[in-house]
């Protein structure tokens, strides 16, 4: 989770319900160096390949909800269709509609992934209080 | 008063294909994983019943997805045929 995102939540920068907020998922090679201090989208070390466009694909988010004392946001799987990509190690989720493309979180795929003239799907976790993509407990 | 507070990011997975798209069965599996969660800690009888139901849902979704694909092919066939590309339209119809 990016630290700047926590601050921006308190400032009302991000709204996972408003259609005016466009959250996107951009993918990166293992050369990218992201951590909690990452604040904004960058094109540096972003993957490139057939049918992949810079800044990646838009994410469909589900209205935040809660279970017990945990609030969470769910997101639909993100599919990059008919792409040829290699060495895809991770991703950034960021808010393209906010000034400066501020980041939400960094995702690590656990290893280099690839697709050749095929579909590349980022599978989001189960939408519950223990697994959802963004949780506030 | 002290309330613990924690923000967390969930773990994502990646599924890819080479030289093809996902099959209806593969997409149906992704679909049911989003629709239904079965806890490993659930009582065995309930868990088994839930898993069986999940498999049934997957099969039904896959069937309807195939129907949707075939129906869309009909639409594509007609659009391409109307544009004068009869041979290409016929090739798509036979896919």
Torsion of CA A84, A88, A61, B36, to 10 degrees: 90
Chain B residues with a Cβ under 8 Å from any Cβ in chain A? 4-22, 30, 33-34, 37
The contacts of residue B40 (CB under 8 Å, 6+ apart) are: B47
Q: How many domains does chain B have?
A: 1
B9, B26, B42: best to mutate for the A interface, most A CBs within 10 A: B9
Tokens describing residue B75 = 């639409």
Predicted confidence (pLDDT) per residue in A61-75, tens digit: 888 999 999 999 999
Residue B10 lies in a domain: no
Predicted confidence (pLDDT) per residue in A91-116, tens digit: 999 999 999 999 999 999 999 999 99
Do A112 and A86 contact (CB within 8 A), yes or no? yes
Share of chain B above pLDDT 70, in %: 99
Please tell me the predicted confidence (pLDDT) of residue A80: 97
How far apart CA A104 and CA A14 sit, in angstroms, is: 9
* Closest residue by Cα to residue A114 from B12, B15, B13, B23: B15
Sheet holding A61-67, edge to edge: A61-67, A70-75, A134-136, B7-9
pTM of the model: 0.87
Residue B12 lies in a domain: no
Tell me the nearest-neighbour CA distance from A35 into chain B, angstroms: 13
How far apart CA A134 and CA A21 sit, in angstroms, is: 16
Tell me the average pLDDT across B40-51. 92
Tell me the average pLDDT across B15-40. 92
| Apex A89 CA angle, A88 and A95, nearest 5 | 90
How far apart CA A8 and CA B11 sit, in angstroms, is: 22
Owning domain of residue B63: 24-94
Q: For residue A1, give the chain B residue with the closest CA.
A: B9
Asked if A6 and B7 come within 8 Å (Cβ–Cβ), the reply is yes
Residue B14 lies in a domain: no
């Amino acid at each position: 989770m990016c630290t700047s995102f926590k601050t921006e939540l308190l400032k009302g920068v991000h709204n996972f319900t408003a259609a005016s907020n466009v959250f996107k998922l951009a993918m990166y090679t293992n050369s990218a160096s992201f951590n909690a201090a990452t604040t904004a989208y960058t094109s540096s070390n972003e993957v490139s390949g057939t049918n992949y466009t810079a800044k990646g694909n838009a994410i469909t988010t589900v209205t935040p909800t809660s279970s017990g004392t945990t609030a969470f946001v769910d997101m639909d799987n993100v599919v990059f269709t008919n792409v040829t990509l290699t060495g895809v190690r991770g991703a950034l989720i960021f808010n393209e509609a906010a000034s400066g493309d501020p980041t939400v979180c960094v995702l690590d795929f656990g290893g280099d992934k690839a697709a050749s003239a095929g579909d590349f799907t980022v599978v989001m976790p189960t939408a519950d209080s223990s697994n959802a993509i963004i949780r506030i407990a | 008063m002290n309330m613990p507070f924690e923000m967390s990011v969930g773990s994502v997975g990646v599924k890819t294909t080479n030289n093809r798209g996902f099959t209806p069965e593969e997409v149906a599996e992704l679909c049911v994983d989003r629709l239904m969660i079965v806890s490993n800690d659930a009582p065995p009888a309930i868990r088994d019943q839930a898993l069986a139901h999940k498999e049934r849902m997957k099969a039904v979704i896959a069937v309807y997805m195939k129907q949707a694909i075939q129906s869309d092919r009909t639409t594509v066939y007609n659009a391409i045929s109307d544009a004068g590309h009869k041979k290409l339209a016929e090739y798509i119809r036979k896919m």
